[in-house]
Structure 1
Amino acid sequence: MKRGQFIRNALLATGAVVSGKTVSAFEREINVKENKPFNLNYGPHHGQFENHAGKNITDQIQFMFDQGFRSIEDNGFSRRTVEEQERIGNLLAKLGMTMGVFVLDKGGNGANTLAAGKQEHVDIFLKGCRQAVELAKRCGGKFTTVVPGDFVRNLPLDIQTANVIEALRRGAEILEPHGIVMVLEPLSDTPDLFLRTSTQTYLICRGVNSPSCKILYDAYHMQRNEGDLIANIDRCWDEIAYFQVGDNPGRHEPTTGEINYRNVFKHIYNKGYRGVVGMEHGKSTKGKEGEVKLIAAYREVDSFLA
């Protein structure tokens, strides 16, 4: 059975209504756009299409490609076996797909905060940087996510910022010769986190002063922490190397919350961004129906050139 017919059958079986369209209308749309790449380079995550493609990561990658996606993200890539890492890298190369971010192993968390200025924490971080060089070789990726960890309540904020900058400079010395970029991600998960806003991250990147230290702008987290998305993207543009998305509230696919992703995507496209846009979010609907709805949502918000 052809994949296009497979998806149409899934739609008919679930009786889905996607993005306000009837099933028949979406059937016609998916038939026209089948296999057509998107305007922006969206990168799904492992597991987002497992109801259609199964649990095997390479089967999922093939399915993503067949639906028009040309990148993936795999936060847990460093925890896979070397054999599986190489298998993923080989398939991506064969399909002409890109590996987006993978998380730097122990790149900073509540138990290993770079803000504290402790040598043992820095050593763990630098070990992760050296590991990232090997991981990048296996998958062809060049971006690794770094979160500097939590605030340290007994140190002034400026001292913490200096500690983070110094640690990141040492990490950049490892990564820069290999063309690998650590992208710093400000998060909204807890107020204990040191890195919270795009402008704070911009300051740190300027302090590190390396092409291997840039901003990962996750619009979901930034909508929660600061809002004013397009204006802040413009303010920090020179240091932004990577985007991730998820709608708010709920952290599901675009069109399910308050963010006008069609306008955001049009804006970054017009500014010249052609890198990966990581789909770091859940699905608003379970099962195959939710996966079809996910594809439809990205087709809808990607129609900004129409």
Structure 2
Amino acid sequence: MQRRSFLRNSLLSTGALAVTGSLSARNQVNPSLKFKLDYAPHDGMFSTSAGGDFIDQIKYMHDLGFRSIEDNGMAGRSTEQQTQIGETLAKLGMRMGVFVVPKGGNGANTLAAKNNRHVDIFLEGCRKSVEVAKRCNAKWVTVVPGDFEKHLPIAIQTSNVIEALRRGAEIFEPHGIVMVLEPLSDSPDLFLRTSTQTYEICKAVDSPSCKILFDAYHLQKNEGNLIANLELCWDETPYIQVGDNPGRREPTTGEINYKNVFKFLYDKGYKGIVGMEHGTSLQGKQGEQRLVQAYREVDDFPVAK
């Protein structure tokens, strides 16, 4: 009887281990798949291979070795979707990158104008973003202050932006959420243009919830000198995005030496997310395969032993 009991308990234990192993296998990092930095794809980037459902895409991204995602439009998803995405990321041991604060600033809603209605819209977007972030476990949200208010002196515009951002930071601080300000190259009308301008504003806001989103694609177009400017702005830069220029496609398709940029980040001890804020140079599965290959290439930089 003792032997029979022992065998039964052993089989039950073995079965439990097998089940536990199968449940946790997806969370195990295959050393051959592990990247040196934490690159984050977005919705649609692997839709040909994984299908149109974002949850399935996230699981596929994990299987490829990615450990974070971005989703600019998260605030526009249903609360059920937001929650499901957050739960999926938690099960897979993945992080949620940035999403965009709804109406956080655009051409029709500029923080540079000191327009109370514009500021109220921005602050309401911040409050909504806190609830969204709770559902999907987000710690970073993107803010763009909007366009220049050209009838005002630049120093007055800057002061108006700082004042509005301080009020936004007050909303985010109690929740440990960081709004990251993104200088863009999409239009010469945009107020926020360079990394050093953004650095000055973050220093003036003086909050752990107001920092820089350094998008190398936009900043290559606006100012160049990427590594030097990253060094200058390092203490205010917790978040990176990339895309090659020209074309805004995957690394290796343009002029930016991303292997050197990524080595710089690694050597600085960067543990944040590198958002893959770009398209692909090829269509369909071929484009998706080339995308992964490109990141394997630029992630293959030498490290000090």
TM over 0.5: yes
In the TM superposition, residue 34 of structure 1 has moved relative to its aligned partner by 8.2
Q: Structure 2: how far apart are the matches of 1:164 and 1:171?
A: 11
Contact 1:88 1:139 in 2 (8 A): yes
Runs of 4+ in 1 over 4 A off after TM superposition: none
Task: Specify the alignment match of 2:287 in structure 1.
Answer: 290
RMSD over equivalenced CA pairs, Å: 1.0
Contact 1:115 1:149 in 2 (8 A): yes
Task: Specify the alignment match of 1:100 in structure 2.
Answer: 97
Which protein has the larger Cα radius of gyration, Structure 1 or Structure 2?
2
Question: Which amino acid in 2 is paired with 1:76?
Answer: G
1:36 to 14, 33, 36: 33
1:242 to 221, 236, 239: 239
1:212 to 209, 221, 224: 209
1:53 to 41, 47, 50: 50
Task: Specify the alignment match of 2:200 in structure 1.
Answer: 203
Task: Specify the alignment match of 1:154 in structure 2.
Answer: 151
1:183-203 deviation line (CA, Å, top 9, x unaligned): 000000000000000000000
In the TM superposition, residue 171 of structure 1 has moved relative to its aligned partner by 0.4
1:164 to 161, 176, 193: 161
Q: TM-score, normalised by structure 1?
A: 0.88
Task: Specify the alignment match of 1:129 in structure 2.
Answer: 126
1:68-89 deviation line (CA, Å, top 9, x unaligned): 0000000000000001111100
Contact 1:35 1:66 in 2 (8 A): no
Question: Which amino acid in 2 is paired with 1:249?
Answer: P
User: Which segments of 5 or more consecutive residues in structure 1 lack a partner in the other structure?
Assistant: 1-32
Question: Which amino acid in 2 is paired with 1:162?
Answer: S
Question: Which amino acid in 2 is paired with 1:136?
Answer: A
Q: Structure 2: how far apart are the matches of 1:244 and 1:259?
A: 13
Q: Structure 2: how far apart are the matches of 1:98 and 1:44?
A: 11
Q: TM-score, normalised by structure 2?
A: 0.89
Q: Structure 2: how far apart are the matches of 1:107 and 1:265?
A: 29
Task: Specify the alignment match of 2:254 in structure 1.
Answer: 257
Task: Specify the alignment match of 1:221 in structure 2.
Answer: 218
User: Which segments of 5 or more consecutive residues in structure 2 lack a partner in the other structure?
Assistant: 1-29
2:233 alignment partner, SS class:
helix
In the TM superposition, residue 132 of structure 1 has moved relative to its aligned partner by 1.1
2:299 to 296, 299, 302: 302
2:280 alignment partner, SS class:
coil
